[in-house]
């Protein structure tokens, strides 16, 4: 049997579903450039426009806000028209955003183009909508599939920064933006064609088998104790709180290492190590979610993130910081993908794009809030100790929500075992 004939069977959990997942990962990795390029070119933009460091950071903040808002808009678009429409729209928006921003003459022009075209209408299409699309194509291995899809942003953070830096050093940031525009347009438009197949209908579980409390947490009908709007609201708060905690090391590890006398280069290496182990974490926790369920996996990852965050306080030696950074990456990567699994368990499949987009946008707002809040606490105390403790407090809020959801959705209802009366 040929590969073409195998991929022609486009059903849930089929070989085509795995092929589609690989294409989704590639799309997410390329489209994720919008999250990282603005960080790399910050010094060049600062020098070009003669800016203060705080002003030069504005495009990043605007991009993150645009990305968060765009995740909701693109999710709605995907729910109505399918994944291909937002992907192609996003590819064109990215090309226009990078092309036009390369000609910006003022900071506000640059920030507006970054926030609107690159963040809101561009890169956002390759994150939340892609993850929600993955959930439609997997049932038995939905946890690991979502984890793989969610790793695209971390892969983008691994691959794009050195590439962008090379082009900036060789050609300047403006020509680099033109190069990125060409890459996005020439790759994302053709790749989106691989996802044109219509969303399949998931098979209905056989009578007496696990449903709702199944290992993968798959449940197309919902009979939980909590109303759906309450679950959505709690997930939004959980998304903000986990990422306020997550932002402390990810946003400030470079500055923290500088304060300790190790230099910013060491901090950048620790950040890269966090992202690399974060990929491993997402895959590992995806595998775990398929076996114990999304909510227990969220609890486990939240506990590990809180503990690893605490370890930054006593361990301030250079090599111990490398070790704690790696541990933090291994802990935190499992949290965000579980939200998509919980959404698919509680909400109808037709709302997946919008609901997943809402929660993932909350996580991005949490990152933006956490980065700012940690910096503010440092300015007030001239130390990162209180900022780390603030992150732990927010992590405890996330853990409390996870425990409450687990009790309401799993703990109060006995599991139905195959063959039971």
> Would the CATH topology of 8-195 be identical to that of 228-411?
yes
**How far apart are alpha carbons 253 and 264 in whole angstroms?**
9
List C-alpha distances in Å: 282 to 134, 150, 286, 328: 15, 8, 6, 12
> What pLDDT sits at residue 201?
61
Alpha-carbon distance values, 356 to 223, 285, 338 (Å): 20, 18, 11
So what's the pLDDT on residue 211?
Answer: 38
Residue 51's region, left for phi above 0, alpha for psi from -120 to 50, else beta, is beta
Distance (Å, whole) CA 16 – CA 232: 31
Say if CB 236 and CB 362 are below 8 A apart.
yes
Do 155 and 280 form a contact (C-beta atoms < 8 A)? no
Rounded to whole angstroms, the Cα distance separating 290 from 303 reads 19
How far apart (Å, rounded) are the C-alpha atoms in residues 307 and 297?
Answer: 16
pLDDT reported for residue 221:
57
pLDDT < 70: residue spans in the chain: 1-8, 52-54, 56-57, 201-224, 411-421
Residue 87 CA to residue 244 CA, distance in Å, equals: 29
Residue-wise pLDDT tens digits, 319-360: 999 999 999 999 988 898 899 889 988 888 888 888 888 898
Q: Where are the domains of the chain?
A: 8-195, 228-411
Task: Give CA–CA dist 69/257, Å, rounded.
Answer: 32
By CB atoms closer than 10 A (0-12, 13-18, 19+), residue 12 is middle
Read off the pTM. 0.76
Architecture of domain 8-195 in this structure: Up-down Bundle (1.20)
Phi, psi of 153 (to 5 degrees): -65, -35
**Cα distance between residue 387 and residue 368, in whole Å:** 14
pLDDT score for 382: 84
Structure-token match 């932002």, residue found: 247
Tokens of 355: 């609901």
Could you read off the pLDDT of 20-50 as tens digits, one per residue?
Answer: 999 999 999 999 999 888 877 877 887 888 8
**Which residue intervals of 198-317 are DSSP H helices?**
228-260, 264-292, 294-311
228-411 CATH, one of 2.60.260.20, 1.20.1250.20, 3.20.20.70, 3.40.50.300: 1.20.1250.20
From residue 267, give the alpha-carbon distance in Å to each of 130, 249, 272, 308: 31, 10, 9, 17
């Amino acid at each position: 049997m040929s590969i073409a004939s195998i991929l022609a069977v486009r059903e849930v959990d089929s070989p085509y579903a795995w092929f589609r997942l690989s294409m989704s990962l590639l799309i997410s990795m390329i489209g994720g450039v919008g999250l990282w390029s603005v960080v790399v070119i910050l010094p060049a933009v600062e020098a070009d426009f003669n800016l203060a460091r705080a002003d030069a950071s504005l495009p990043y903040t605007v991009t993150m806000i645009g990305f968060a808002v765009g995740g909701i808009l693109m999710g709605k678009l995907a729910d109505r028209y399918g994944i291909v429409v937002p992907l192609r729209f996003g590819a064109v928006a990215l090309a226009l955003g990078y092309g036009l921003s390369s000609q910006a003459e003022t900071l506000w022009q640059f920030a507006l183009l970054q926030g609107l075209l690159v963040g809101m209408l561009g890169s956002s299409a390759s994150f939340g909508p892609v993850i929600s699309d993955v959930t439609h194509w997997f049932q038995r291995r939905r946890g690991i599939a979502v984890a793989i899809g969610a790793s695209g942003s971390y892969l983008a953070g691994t691959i794009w920064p050195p590439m962008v830096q090379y082009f900036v050093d060789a050609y300047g940031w403006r020509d680099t933006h033109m190069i990125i525009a060409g890459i996005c347009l020439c790759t994302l438009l053709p790749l989106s064609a691989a996802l044109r197949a219509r969303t399949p209908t998931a098979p209905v579980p056989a009578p007496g088998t696990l449903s709702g409390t199944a290992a993968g947490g798959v449940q197309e009908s919902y009979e939980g104790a909590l109303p759906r709007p309450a679950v959505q609201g709690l997930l939004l708060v959980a998304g903000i709180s986990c990422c306020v905690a997550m932002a402390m090391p990810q946003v400030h590890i470079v500055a923290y290492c500088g304060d300790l006398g190790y230099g910013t280069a060491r901090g950048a290496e620790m950040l890269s190590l966090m992202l690399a182990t974060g990929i491993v974490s997402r895959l590992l926790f995806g595998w775990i979610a398929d076996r114990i369920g999304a909510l227990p996996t969220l609890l486990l990852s939240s506990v590990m993130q809180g503990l690893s965050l605490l370890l930054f306080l006593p361990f301030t030696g250079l090599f111990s910081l490398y070790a704690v950074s790696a541990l933090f990456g291994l802990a935190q990567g499992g949290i965000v993908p579980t939200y998509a699994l919980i959404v698919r368990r509680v909400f109808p499949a037709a709302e997946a794009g919008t609901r997943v987009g809402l929660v993932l946008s909350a996580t991005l707002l949490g990152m933006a809030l956490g980065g700012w809040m940690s910096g503010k606490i440092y300015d007030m105390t001239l130390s990162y100790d209180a900022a780390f403790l603030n992150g732990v407090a927010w992590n405890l809020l996330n853990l409390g929500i996870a425990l409450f959801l687990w009790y309401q959705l799993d703990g109060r209802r006995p599991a139905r075992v195959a063959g039971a009366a």
